[in-house]
Amino acid sequence: MLRLSFATTTVILTILACAFTWPQCVNLSTHFVWHIDPPFSVWRLSWIAHALRVDPHHLFDANIFYPARQTLAFSDAMMLEGAVAAPLLWAGLRPVFTYNLLLFVGLIGSGLAMFGLIRYLLGSASAALVGAAIFMMVPFRIEHIAHLELQWAMWMPLGFWALHRAVGESSWRLGALAGIMLWLQVLSCVYYGVFVGAAMAMLSLLLLWRAEKPVRALLPLAAGFALAALLSAPYAAPYMDVARELGPRDPAELYRYSADARNYLASSPGNWIWGWTGMQFGSGERMLFPGIIALVLAVIGIARRPGALTWIYLAVGALGVELSFGPNSPLNEWLIGLAPPLGGLRAWARAAIIVYGALAVLAAVGVAHLESRIVSAPGRRLAIALLVCLLFVEYNSTPMSLADVTDRPGLMQKILREMPPGPVLDLPLARGTTSLPGHDHLYEFWSIHHWQPLVNGYSGYYWPPYLGTIARLRHFPDDDSIAYLQTLGVRYIVVHRAFYRDREDYKALVGTIAGRREITPRGEYGDSLNDATLLELAPRAGDERTAR
Mean pLDDT, rounded, of the chain: 93
> Contact at 8 Å (CB) between 89 and 98?
yes
Tell me the pLDDT band of 542, cut-offs 50, 70 and 90.
low
Count CB neighbours of 327 within 10 A.
19
Which among 525, 504, 513, 389 has a CA at the least distance from the CA of 446? 525
Mode of pairing for the β-strands spanning 424-427 and 492-496: parallel
Rounded to whole angstroms, how far apart are CA atoms 356 and 362? 10
> Contact at 8 Å (CB) between 167 and 208?
yes
Tell me the pLDDT band of 331, cut-offs 50, 70 and 90.
confident
Residue 254: predicted pLDDT: 86
- Assign residue 284 a region (left: φ > 0; alpha: ψ between -120 and 50; beta: otherwise): left
Whether the per-residue pLDDT at 345 is higher than 90: the answer is no
Residue 1: predicted pLDDT: 58
DSSP reduced 3-state for 122: helix
Q: Which residues are within 8 A (CB) of 268 and not within 5 positions of it... i.e. 6 or more apart?
A: 139, 140, 142, 143, 275, 278, 287, 397
Whether the per-residue pLDDT at 2 is higher than 90: the answer is no
pLDDT digits (tens, 9 = 90+) for 195-247: 999 999 999 999 999 888 898 999 999 999 999 999 999 999 999 999 888 88
Whether the per-residue pLDDT at 374 is higher than 80: the answer is yes
Which among 246, 194, 172 has a CA at the least distance from the CA of 467? 246
Whether the per-residue pLDDT at 528 is higher than 70: the answer is no
Residue 209: predicted pLDDT: 92
Whether the per-residue pLDDT at 339 is higher than 90: the answer is no
Please give the backbone phi and psi of residue 530, each rounded to the nearest 5 degrees, phi first: -165, 165
pLDDT digits (tens, 9 = 90+) for 474-486: 999 999 999 999 9
Give the residue ranges of DSSP H helices in 123-189. 125-137, 139-143, 155-169, 172-188
> Contact at 8 Å (CB) between 27 and 99?
no
Rounded to whole angstroms, how far apart are CA atoms 419 and 308? 66
DSSP 8-class letter at 522: E
Q: Which residues are within 8 A (CB) of 46 and not within 5 positions of it... i.e. 6 or more apart?
A: 85, 89, 95, 448
Q: Mean pLDDT across the stretch 300-324?
A: 95
Tell me the pLDDT band of 540, cut-offs 50, 70 and 90.
confident
Residue 545: predicted pLDDT: 63
Residue 440: predicted pLDDT: 96
Residue 505: predicted pLDDT: 85
pTM for this entry: 0.93
Whether the per-residue pLDDT at 341 is higher than 90: the answer is no
% of the chain with per-residue pLDDT over 70: 98
Count CB neighbours of 438 within 10 A.
19
Is the peptide bond prior to 269 cis by the omega test (within 30 degrees of 0)? no
What DSSP line would sit under 282-330, residue for residue? --TT------HHHHHHHHHHHHHS-SHHHHHHHHHHHHHHHHHTGGGSH
Helix axes 352-372, 190-210, angle to 10 degrees: 50
Rounded to whole angstroms, how far apart are CA atoms 441 and 420? 24
158-182: b (≥16 Cβ within 10 Å) or e: bbbbbbbbbbeebbeebbbbbbbbb
Residue 323: predicted pLDDT: 95
pLDDT digits (tens, 9 = 90+) for 380-406: 899 999 999 999 999 998 888 898 888
Residue 546: predicted pLDDT: 57
Rounded to whole angstroms, how far apart are CA atoms 173 and 170? 9
